[in-house]
Amino acid sequence: MKDRFDLIIFDWDGTLVDSIDWIVHCIQQAAARYGCPVPARQAAKDIIGLSIENAIETLFPDVDSRTRQHLAEHYGQMFFSRQISPEDLFPGVHAMLVKLRQGGCRLAIATGKKSSGLAQAIVATGVAELFDASRCSDQTASKPDPLMIDQIIAELNADRRRTLMVGDSVHDLQMAINAEVASVAVTCGAHSAATLQQYRPLLCLNYPTDLLAFF
């Protein structure tokens, strides 16, 4: 893979950051707060990677628009009530990103987070200087639309054939398929290996740091 790819696009939550349990908790608490059916754990995990608006609409299709807005706002307030730090990265992620850059790879992020949330998170985790580009759900179309990847490739003047998407959810891998780029799945986040393998990733790894064995 070292000679095949020179742009690696990472998802954020569940791929680089161990945040899935907290996201699920915040979604469930928001539902309880506004009297909505509390989604089961896997149902809440299934929407991770989507924009918050698409996630709320998927989880609560029968609620009115005002309640959906309240749910999204409550989720955001609760999520950001917890301060993120370098310890929230999966073990070894910072060193992995450094090694990939030293090896000549350019790095980017494609995430369902809002741009303000990602900006805060990459600074708080100490990885801001390691990425060449990013796209968030409020800057472009939500996953699995390929526009996030398309815009990153255009911004960096990259070769689509030499671009790799790394993610933990079906939304990440479907976005890669839609963008006609290769993908690698990681099982430390939202979805299982059995689910992710249906999207034909080149590899299905336990953690993103396992990628170093191939670069």
CATH class of 20-79: mainly alpha
Q: What is the DSSP-derived secondary structure letter of residue 16?
A: T
Q: Which CATH architecture has domain 7-19+85-214?
A: 3-Layer(aba) Sandwich (3.40)
Catalytic residue among 11, 46, 150, 168: 11
What is the C-alpha separation between 183 and 176, in angstroms, rounded? 6
Residue among 173, 169, 151, 171 nearest 160 (CA): 151
Please name the residue that has the structure tokens 């963008």.
179
Structure tokens at 121: 């998170």
64 is a catalytic site residue = no
**Per-domain residue ranges of the chain:** 7-19+85-214, 20-79
Q: What is the DSSP-derived secondary structure letter of residue 181?
A: -
Stretch 175-185: mean pLDDT: 98
Please name the residue that has the structure tokens 């000549």.
104
Q: What is the dihedral of CA 5, 11, 17, 20, to 10 degrees?
A: -140
**pLDDT tier at 104, thresholds 50, 70, 90:** very high
The more confidently predicted of residues 152 and 79 is 152
pLDDT tens, position by position, 136-156: 999 999 999 999 999 999 999
Catalytic residue among 13, 18, 150, 172: 13
6 is a catalytic site residue = no
- For residue 3, the model assigns a pLDDT of 85
**Residue 42: which residues within 8 A CB-CB, separation 6 or more?**
none
